[in-house]
Structure 1
Amino acid sequence: MQPALSPSSFHWPLWRKWLFCFSCIYLLLFTSPLNWLGSVPVLGEVAGLYGAAEGWLVNLGNAHLFHVKDVLVPLNGSGDTSYGYAQLCLFALAATVGACLWVLLDRRRPNYNRGYYWLLVLVRYFVALNALGYGILKLFALQMVPPPLSALATPLGDFLPMRFSWYFIGYSQPYQVFSGAAEVLAGVLLLWRRTSTLGAFVAASVFLNVMMLNLCYDIPVKIFSIHLFALSVFLLLGDAGRLFSFFVLNRPTPPAPAPPLLPWRWRVAQLTIKAVFIGVFALLPLYQYAQGNASAGAPAKGRLATGFFEVEKFEANVPDSLRWKDVIFEANPTGSILTADTLLRQRYRRGYFAYTLDSAHHTIAFKKMASDSLPLFTLRYAQPDTNHVLLRGKIRNDSVYVALRRQKRHFQLAERQFHWLSEANR
């Protein structure tokens, strides 16, 4: 994709120059090319210094100009924190001031055709690599997981919209693979100049859907998804006149100007760099994500009965709100308890935990997060048979005895239900 050239393209009006300068500064700040290369040893240090300087400027600008929040919450699992919005304000302010200075100091330049071409290349690769990164994860059904037992045992009304939408997509592996294939298709088409216009169309369609999901289900990736959709539309602006003539006016449209032919050595170098980009920014994250899932989902050493357990007996000197009603041990070393005890990680009115099993000493260490080095408490366990688990020990220095009995809970949502023939509205 490259901007279509016309006689007017050689002399840009002032407003067009300003828009280009603003877009160039803003998009360079938002895409942060230095952060792409953060994993490279030498450039990683430069990226760290750049990130520290940006953080200082964001906090300084927020304290004196933006006032998004008194104390900014840094970016974490959510991309829509107060820091994220203050960061956008800084980018917009820097782009506005920078564009004004740029246009004034460089007012004799007739146009920025060459700069516009390379800006489109940067945006094209940014959108393509994000489409490939997210799409490949979905293509292998790794981004959204099916509802685990703990989720199936949670009343629907207790879920937040984001978690509800996550399980909605994760429930159907074919749908997740389909959506991932659409994103991968957009990314692949954007990597090649000849197919980049079609790729921008596909990307705009895909990211419009993603953006609306994030907005309508309160998924905290709103800022980023809005930008991915806007950048996909930005890629189409260079061909706006030709597209309008073809799709709206039903007129013949001339082809886009042919790119200059490169010597074969440059072509080989170009393809090599493209392959490295795909490997580093698309396939490597897939490998790291899969490795993380494999380590998180590794079975605990020894054997512990898994499933839904009813609490037959709970002996402890605790308030009724802290008593255990039922316990779920997942197939991986995690689980949840129906209790209001804040010692555990409370989500959707259940206390979630990770655990480490020591089959030699018959102990189970409960942790708030799998990455925690120290357990919240450790209990001794016994398994008279596969349907019963006995736990005893101390929680908050209070002696506790818990007798669990497995229940054969049947969750229809855990089944893969599909019917061509449906005699009733199920």
Structure 2
Amino acid sequence: MESIPTQPWPLWRRIGFRFAFVYLVLSFNPASFLEFIPGAYGVMQVLFSPIDWLTAWVNKHWLHIADPLVMPNGSGDTSYGWAVMYTYLMLAFVAGIVWSIADRKRPAYHQLHYWLCLLLRYTLLLACFSYGIQKVFALQMPFPNMSQLATPLGDFLPMRLSWMFIGYSTPYQVFSGVAEVVAALLLLWRRTATLGALVAFGVMLNVAMLNLSYDIPVKIYSIHLCFISAYLLWQERSRLIPFFLLNKPAMPSVLFEHQFATKWKRISRVVAKSLFVLASMGITIVSAMQYREQVNAEIVKVLPPVKPDMYQVEWWVQNGDTVKTDYANAAHWKDIIFDYNGQGSINAVDSMFRIRYRRSYFAYLPDSTGTTLAFRKFATDSAPLFTLQLQLPDSNSMLLKGKINADSVAIRLRRMHRHFQLAEKQFHWLSEANR
């Protein structure tokens, strides 16, 4: 016979559980468990289409957050993200009331409680592990590129500042990733799951505070992960409070000690857990390793004959007339950075390109002979914005000629050999003064 607790719950706990169960199950994203299966993402989209319709209806008639709703797009805090969260809360509230009336005589929900905690434990485990592995391989926050180093600090948004703060220091990023991976590994085993939830709560609370303090658009998700950690810890309050606050002994945890009576169930649990570790965690590690190799190869890729560096605009001739660089005019090109891997930026606010932090970002590609240079808004664009003839009078100069829109231009660039102290990654055990 399977070991299931039989103690009745107080009324407040039954009502609270019904609400929490509905909300947390609705918020559960099975794609995180099934993304390694080909075609799973498409199936999830079909299954969740009713939720999308209901969210749009609730927003239109009650919430009025935005019209139309913007789906997650790299930001998890879009209008859709907030609308779907409020929709889940409303559904959980209504379902909790109906459930409490219809099932008011049931004394407890021990079986459902076990499966809910198990679902939350593995959801938290996957989140900690996937984010942690990215940081362990220093992939989530890259080191600032040349264009970012050349951007005045005051022009950055808080999120980008925090991203570069962490990306600057590989040891710190790896350290924070190890903390998340440790939380995931502790959550993997029943005997250490409570400690894992404690570590995960501390790690995710720090992440949530970074997101809230630096306006990083993953606020909803990080707060959810904090809530999941807190929910798991709340189930262990009868053990944690005596141990940490009252200096009293704590009984062993029974939260995940669900003993299956039949042999096939015990074997199935071992097989399912092994498959989970191999499929989800194993694939995450392999994917991270492959992506790191790709990033390391791309990040230092030079496209001859362009030498990655910062170049100053010495002169600009447009339609036969010399145009003096006007530093007060934001649209005038003042300097241009050719970074590695065919990426670059211009110290100007030129609407032809991608404007970020008062610099114009572009992608460039020399032809096979190294005599022309094609400028694109995005590297994936099929057609360039314009193509200029490329000449290299000497090792420190570049001459670009051709047409930009309807204007004939000739641009002479001088290589600056710009040195950024931040790129040195300085570290001193001995510091005689603040620097």
Instruction: Give TM-score scaled by structure 2 length.
Output: 0.90
> Aligned partners of 2:309, 2:378: CA distance in 1, in Å?
20
The answer to whether the Cα contact below 8 Å between 1:4 and 1:239 also exists between their aligned partners in 2 is: no
1:383 Cα offset (Å): 1.9
Matched, 1:148 2:158: no
Q: Which of 317, 340, 362 is the equivalent residue of 1:331?
A: 340
* Cα deviation code 1:88-147 (max 9, x no counterpart): 111101111112222222233221111111111111111111111111111011111111
Q: Which of 204, 217, 220 is the equivalent residue of 1:220?
A: 217
> Aligned partners of 2:269, 2:60: CA distance in 1, in Å?
49
Matched, 1:418 2:427: yes
Q: Which of 38, 53, 57 is the equivalent residue of 1:56?
A: 53
Report the equivalent of 1:260: 259
Q: Which amino acid aligns with 2:168?
A: Y
Matches within 5 A, 1:31-46: 31-33=28-30, 36-38=33-35, 40-41=37-38, 43-46=40-43
The answer to whether the Cα contact below 8 Å between 1:301 and 1:357 also exists between their aligned partners in 2 is: yes
SS at 2:48 equivalent: helix
Report the equivalent of 2:277: 275
The answer to whether the Cα contact below 8 Å between 2:32 and 2:126 also exists between their aligned partners in 1 is: no
Report the equivalent of 2:350: 341
* Cα deviation code 1:358-389 (max 9, x no counterpart): 13262222111222222222212122333111
Matches within 5 A, 1:17-36: 17-33=14-30, 36=33
> Aligned partners of 1:44, 1:332: CA distance in 2, in Å?
31
> Aligned partners of 1:204, 1:336: CA distance in 2, in Å?
40
Matched, 1:198 2:191: no
SS at 1:386 equivalent: coil
Matches within 5 A, 1:6-405: 10-33=7-30, 36-38=33-35, 40-41=37-38, 43-257=40-254, 258-260=257-259, 263=263, 265-266=267-268, 268-279=270-281, 282-283=284-285, 286=288, 289-290=291-292, 293=295, 297=299, 299=301, 301-316=303-318, 320-360=329-369, 362-405=371-414
* Cα deviation code 1:268-288 (max 9, x no counterpart): 413422323433673365257
* Cα deviation code 1:385-411 (max 9, x no counterpart): 331111111111211111111112221
Q: Which amino acid aligns with 2:353?
A: L
* Cα deviation code 1:293-332 (max 9, x no counterpart): 4686473654311101111111226895432100111122
> Aligned partners of 1:238, 1:37: CA distance in 2, in Å?
27
1:50 and 1:281, CA in 2 relative to 1: closer, same or farther beyond 3 A?
A: farther
The answer to whether the Cα contact below 8 Å between 2:303 and 2:340 also exists between their aligned partners in 1 is: no
1:356 Cα offset (Å): 2.0
1:296 and 1:84, CA in 2 relative to 1: closer, same or farther beyond 3 A?
A: farther
The answer to whether the Cα contact below 8 Å between 2:128 and 2:183 also exists between their aligned partners in 1 is: yes
SS at 2:375 equivalent: strand
Q: Which amino acid aligns with 1:83?
A: Y
SS at 1:86 equivalent: helix
Q: Which amino acid aligns with 1:269?
A: V
> Aligned partners of 1:71, 1:279: CA distance in 2, in Å?
37
The answer to whether the Cα contact below 8 Å between 1:66 and 1:86 also exists between their aligned partners in 2 is: yes
The answer to whether the Cα contact below 8 Å between 2:36 and 2:279 also exists between their aligned partners in 1 is: no
Q: Which amino acid aligns with 1:282?
A: T
1:152 Cα offset (Å): 1.1
Gaps in structure 1 of 5+ consecutive residues = none
SS at 1:10 equivalent: coil
Aligned-residue identity in percent: 48
SS at 2:393 equivalent: strand
Q: Which amino acid aligns with 1:328?
A: I
> Aligned partners of 1:281, 1:87: CA distance in 2, in Å?
30
1:37 Cα offset (Å): 2.2
The answer to whether the Cα contact below 8 Å between 1:189 and 1:196 also exists between their aligned partners in 2 is: yes
The answer to whether the Cα contact below 8 Å between 1:245 and 1:251 also exists between their aligned partners in 2 is: yes
* Cα deviation code 1:230-276 (max 9, x no counterpart): 11111111111111111111112221234416746335413422323
1:80 and 1:305, CA in 2 relative to 1: closer, same or farther beyond 3 A?
A: same
The answer to whether the Cα contact below 8 Å between 2:4 and 2:110 also exists between their aligned partners in 1 is: no
> Aligned partners of 1:388, 1:242: CA distance in 2, in Å?
71
* Cα deviation code 1:1-35 (max 9, x no counterpart): xx995xxx622233322211211111112122256
1:415 Cα offset (Å): 0.4
The answer to whether the Cα contact below 8 Å between 1:302 and 1:359 also exists between their aligned partners in 2 is: no
> Aligned partners of 1:228, 1:136: CA distance in 2, in Å?
17
1:271 and 1:35, CA in 2 relative to 1: closer, same or farther beyond 3 A?
A: closer
Matched positions, count: 421
> Aligned partners of 2:71, 2:53: CA distance in 1, in Å?
12
> Aligned partners of 1:29, 1:45: CA distance in 2, in Å?
18
The answer to whether the Cα contact below 8 Å between 1:128 and 1:187 also exists between their aligned partners in 2 is: yes
SS at 2:311 equivalent: strand
Structure 1 segments, 4+ long, off by >6 Å, are: none
Q: How large is the Cα RMSD of the aligned pairs? A: 2.4
SS at 1:332 equivalent: helix
